[in-house]
Amino acid sequence: MDATRKPPPAAARPPLDARLTEQRNPRSMRIDQLSSLEIVDLVNAEDRLVAAAVSDERVQIARAIDLVVDGFRRGGRLIYVGAGTSGRLGVLDASEMPPTYRTDPEMVQGVMAGGYEALLRAQEGAEDHPEDGAAAMDERSIDDKDFVLGIAASGTTPYVHGALKRARERGARTGFLLCTYPSEELLQAHDVVIAPLVGPEVVTGSTRMKAGTATKMVLNMLSTGAMVRMGKVYGNLMVDLQVTCQKLQDRGERILMETVGVDRAEAERLLEASGGHVKTAIVMKRFGVDAAEARRKIEQAGGAIGALK
């Protein structure tokens, strides 16, 4: 249960549909009469509200990072579950982990209502079936080492609720990311609830806008924070990257030149000897060891090379 927050009193909530994502924005009611530049200025002004709303959720985001890291250290996974824009953002964040931090693709996963086809073409009806969300958790053999984060701007997507209910039944810890007032039921059900209140959208109900931006910001913080805590960053350098293309070769060489003080030619040699793994190459140079011994030292340090003496 997320005991760190409480919903606002009913009197403080909007009338009719209480979801902020469904309210009309009084500042954009004449948007259809504006010039292109005026539209840009209006959208930009609304977007400035997003960072502050995300900042208000800093404690909950940090709590989610701790839950993810605890799961990772026990061999668990981070699973995002969503539909539509929310689902696509989860899949996007998960897909960035292997090339950025050299993670196993299973470690962070994005699960989306409607599957792969819904990434390319909207499958709106796919979100209405909680049993499909539950089946997705069964298919992935979710267990008590995993952390499952449901993402639904409105907080009501049946597919997401079905997935989280089954995940809890299977012993996983769960969280919910939404952009409206969390209900008492939601707070009671999950280990953490993250609710950046970005307010009504410029175009009513178009949650790919402010809600989508807030969601992307939160997921950036969550996955980045977890990877930093897992030792995949040295200083502020992504040293766990694997050289797989020319761009990453250049980046890896520059990281080595800066961290261990070698020239470009020596950096290239170290990378080749390390099998293209920057972290291994750093330890090889710092300790004067071969790749196998460097990998052993990294494993003993739990992946955090900054802790090596």
CA torsion angle 90 91 92 96 (round to 10): 110
| Same-domain pairing of 152 and 37 | yes
Look at residue 56 and tell me if it is in a domain: yes
| Same-domain pairing of 207 and 268 | no
**Report field, pTM of the whole predicted structure over 0.95:** no
Reported as a single tens digit per residue, the pLDDT across 228-238 is 999 999 999 98
| Same-domain pairing of 106 and 170 | yes
| Same-domain pairing of 156 and 280 | no
Q: Is 127 a catalytic residue?
A: yes
Provide CB contacts within 8 A for 108, sequence distance 6+: 77, 78, 79, 80, 93, 94, 97, 223
Look at residue 237 and tell me if it is in a domain: no
Catalytic entry in 96, 266, 268, 293: 96
Distance CA 167, CA 78 (A): 12
- What's the first-to-final CA gap in the chain, in angstroms? 40
Distance CA 135, CA 112 (A): 12
Residue 284 belongs to domain spanning: 246-307
Mean pLDDT value of segment 39-43: 96
Look-up of token digits 């409105």: 154
Both tokens assigned to 2: 């997320």
Look at residue 240 and tell me if it is in a domain: no
Look at residue 235 and tell me if it is in a domain: no
Q: pLDDT: is 265 or 10 the higher one?
A: 265
DSSP sequence for 228-295 = HHTT--BTTB-TT-B--SHHHHHHHHHHHHHHH---HHHHHHHHHHTTSBHHHHHHHHHHT--HHHHH
| Same-domain pairing of 303 and 155 | no
Question: Cβ distance 214 to 31 under 8 Å?
Answer: no
| Same-domain pairing of 44 and 119 | yes
Please say which residue of 160, 194, 229 terminates a domain. 229
Question: Cβ distance 156 to 182 under 8 Å?
Answer: no
| Same-domain pairing of 134 and 250 | no
Distance CA 308, CA 164 (A): 39
Assess whether pLDDT exceeds 50 at residue 108: yes
Q: Please report the pLDDT score of residue 151 as a whole number.
A: 98
| Same-domain pairing of 197 and 138 | yes
For the chain, the domain total comes to: 2
Catalytic entry in 22, 46, 57, 127: 127
| Same-domain pairing of 254 and 303 | yes
| Same-domain pairing of 299 and 201 | no
CATH number at 271 reads: 1.10.8.1080
User: What is the longest distance spanned by two Cα atoms in the chain?
Assistant: 68
| Same-domain pairing of 153 and 187 | yes
Reported as a single tens digit per residue, the pLDDT across 48-71 is 999 999 999 999 999 999 999 999
Q: Is 253 a catalytic residue?
A: no
Strand ranges, E, within 89-183: 108-112, 147-151, 173-177
Distance CA 196, CA 181 (A): 9
Look at residue 2 and tell me if it is in a domain: no
| Same-domain pairing of 88 and 218 | yes
Please say which residue of 198, 229, 260 terminates a domain. 229
Q: Please report the pLDDT score of residue 295 as a whole number.
A: 94
